[in-house]
Structure 1
Amino acid sequence: MFADTILFLEVGSLMKLTITYEHSIPINAFRWTPSVTAKPLHYHSSLEIGLCVSGRGIFYFGEKSYKVVPGDIFIVNNLELHIARSNESDPSTYIFINFDPILLLDEEEALLLPFAYRSDHFDNRIPAASPLAAPIGALIEKISRELTDRQEGYRSMAKSALLDLCVLFLRHYAAGLSMNEWNRLTDSFRRIRPALVLIDQRFREPIELGDVAKVLRISPSRASHLFQQELGRSFKEHLLQLRINEAKRLLISTNHSAVDVCFESGFQSVPSFYRLFVRSVGLAPLDYRKQYSVHAIFENTTEPLSR
């Protein structure tokens, strides 16, 4: 795994992975060969999809375990403890895709349903022998290739492939759900939807958990639990991500100063804006602008654009 993008934090006897994204969209792709010895189970706030590309091993999900062969696909939500282990004589290698669930919420909330599973009743593996494994595997490899090569338009191509992949997951897992299970999953998203709409409308302003609890007509403690349960992140983490995304948008699409971007995206303090932006993005705001700004691209173009 990338040492500079993944950090293990010990929480009691568990390990939480804190993942930062290397690109201006919240998607990472990386190759990983698990250890042949047992390692602690971990979890993370991102969603994850894995493809075994070679070797053999075992993939553990809590009390469940799957024998792994090349071509197997694995789906991991933001709450379930998991870890992979390699076979000693034939170590396995995976391509993993990590992404922020907000990508799916912004597109079509139903795409999150396959990741809203209950661990003990869910099959995390799509076997290599399944007709669905090959097209999903091809999309995983495409996302990895786009994020590695970084050719023009790679972010759009990676996002498009991810959405295609999640549609395939939705159709596959929805076919195995009973009407009661489907209603339970969709009802859980409908419960939190008013809060997400409110935050999306007001994240540029001071907003507190109590405001969200009020619109949901529940207590703040229950609202806090609902965020963690449905999104795998706290209210504050969700709010921060919206503000970071807005700051990134303003930095690459306007000439506003970093201070103006700070307050226009909802941050109340310039020092905390710089600190949180660097922690989340890996670059200072103005360095991010230099790297990704459309204006910078045009300014560095040597040939005039044809009309």
Structure 2
Amino acid sequence: MTNLKLHIDYPHDIPIDAFQWTPETTLEPFHTHTSLEIGCCISGSGVFYFEQKCYTVRPGDIFIVNQTELHIAQSDEVDPSTFIFINFDPSILLLEDEKLLLPYSYQSEKFQNHIPAETSLACQLQPRIMTIHEELSQQDVGYLSRARSILIDISVLLLRNYIGSISSEQWRRMNHSYRELRQMLEFVHRHFGSNIQLADVAQTVGWSQARTSRLFREYTGKSLRDYLAQLRLSEVKKRLVTTDDLIANICFDCGFQSMASFYRAFHANTGTSPKEYREMNGLSEDFEKLGDANEKSK
């Protein structure tokens, strides 16, 4: 069985994406990836393979995919299947509540990846998956906040569904590990403005640097260095469009060590300079006029 490890890049400031996909009618190589996934079949038929397991696919069926289990879907030749998939970084759930990751920490041979269309759970999940896809496609005001909140809602429903199949010992062990991972991520999010290193992150949870590096990459899909760069750039972009702070102050407040490295990273990420980004994405004239009107009415 061929194993392809796919790296996932997210086009948004939070690590979540949605896409429509029609599997090939011939069996492609099995793969894993750095993201978690939730998929919903919206039309057609076929099969979905998870290592030694094989599920028939029908419209409305939901499939849960973690980072370690080899999988691939295959369409029926006459009636090809089409899916909407949500893929996302585990750090979204870790930072919210580490228990939300438990449904994705299954033992492959015992886990039912398939939630049949006729079940109550599938009926609850399908419209939520479709809404996330719509939000990320249309990118209306607040779309990332809404997509994130719906993802958390989906994960709560999954936790309630699967919790009965998790033994008390599994619960204790996984919950302890996720609590440490959450502690590690919270440290990174609190201190990204300073020059933190892998040794600092490892010290917060009492792990070796090697273990910290391995688990950080496993659960975020990125090295600590790349994760920090993304986090810092997200904060920079937020401050550019919501404040009139000097660009140099924003650069150093967000953890960049030099203006040259900051400008290179920002241009590689956005294709523009910070000044151009601020001019294109700052508060619109309508908001400024509204603010002026409010001031005059006081």
Range class of TM-score, shorter chain: 0.7 to 0.9
Residue 190 of structure 2 aligns with which residue?
A: 201
Larger Rg: 2
The structure 2 residue matched to 1:85, chosen from 71, 74, 99, is: 74
Q: How many angstroms apart in 2 are the aligned matches of 1:27 and 1:283?
A: 23
Q: Does structure 1 residue 186 correspond to structure 2 residue 205? A: no
- Percent identity of equivalent pairs: 45
> Is 1:19 aligned to residue 3 of structure 2?
no
Alignment CA distance shift 1:121-1:300 (3 Å): farther
1:161 positional shift: 1.8
Aligned to 1:199, the other structure's residue is in SS state helix
In the aligned structure 1, how far is the partner of 2:280 from the partner of 2:157?
A: 34
Residues in 2 aligned to 1:216 and 1:302: alpha-carbon distance in whole angstroms: 46
Name the structure where helix makes up a greater proportion of residues: 2
Query: In the alignment, is the contact (CA less than 8 A) between 1:189 and 1:230 conserved in 2?
Result: no
Inter-CA distance 169–291: structure 2 relative to 1 (3 Å threshold): farther
Among 128, 140, 150, which residue is 1:139 paired with?
128
Matched residue, 2:45: 56
Residue 101 (1) aligns with residue 90 (2): yes
Once the two structures are TM-superposed, the CA of residue 164 in structure 1 deviates from its matched residue by: 1.4
Amino acid at match of 2:6: K
Contact 1:73 1:133 (8 Å CA) reproduced: yes
**SS at 1:95 equivalent:** strand
Mapped contact 1:227–1:235 kept (Cα < 8 A): yes
Shift of the alpha carbon at 1:249? 2.2
**Could you say which residue in structure 1 is the equivalent of 2:231?**
242
> Contact conserved, 1:53 with 1:93, CA < 8 A, in 2?
yes
TM-score (norm 1): 0.83
Does residue 1:153 correspond to 2:109, yes or no?
no
2-side partners of 1:301 and 1:225: how far apart?
A: 50
Across the aligned residues of Structure 1 and Structure 2, the Cα RMSD in angstroms comes to 2.9
**Residues in 1 aligned to 2:286 and 2:37: alpha-carbon distance in whole angstroms:** 32
Amino acid at match of 1:87: D
Secondary structure of 1:188's aligned partner: helix
Greater mean deviation of Cα atoms: 153-162 or 31-40 = 153-162
Selected match of 2:214 from 218, 221, 225: 225
Deviation of 1:196 after TM superposition, in Å, equals: 2.4
Contact 2:3 2:32 in 1 (8 A): no
Provide the secondary structure at the position in 1 that maps to 2:26: coil
Measure how far apart 1:230 and its partner are.
Answer: 4.2
The Cα shift of 1:35 comes to: 1.2
Distance 1:38 1:276 in 2: 40
TM-superposed CA distance for 1:109, in Å, is 2.3
From the superposition, tell whether residues 190 and 105 of structure 1 become closer, same or farther in structure 2 (CA, over 3 Å).
Answer: closer
Change (3 A) 1:236 1:34: same
Contact in 1 for aligned 2:10/2:16 (Cα 8 Å): no
Give the 3 Å change call, closer, same or farther, for CA 137–304 of structure 1 in structure 2: same
Q: What does residue range 272-283 of structure 1 map to in structure 2 within 5 Å?
A: 272-277=261-266
Q: How many matched pairs?
A: 295
Q: Retained in 2: the 8 A contact 1:188–1:230?
A: no
On the 8 A contact 1:253/1:295 being kept in 2, the answer is no
Which runs of structure 1 show a deviation greater than 6 angstroms over 4 or more consecutive aligned residues? 300-303
Structure 1 spans left out of the alignment, 5+ residues: 1-11
Q: Does the CA contact (< 8 Å) of 1:20 and 1:280 recur in 2?
A: no
For structure 2, which runs of at least 5 residues remain unmatched after alignment? none
The counterpart of 1:293, out of the listed 255, 279, 282, is 282
Q: Provide Cα deviations, 1:32-86, integer angstroms capped at 9, x if missing partner.
A: 1111122233333232211000011122233433221111111222333332221
> TM-score, structure 2 length as denominator?
0.85
For the structure 1 residues 305 and 99, does the alpha-carbon distance in structure 2 shift closer, same or farther, using more than 3 Å as the test? farther
Q: Which of 30, 34, 42 pairs up with 1:41?
A: 30
Shift of 1:228: 3.4
Please report how far the alpha carbon of residue 94 of structure 1 lies from its aligned counterpart in structure 2 after TM superposition: 0.5
Corresponding residue for residue 114 of structure 1: 103
CA 194–28 in structure 1, closer or farther in 2 if over 3 Å, else same: closer
Paired position in structure 1 for 2:241? 252
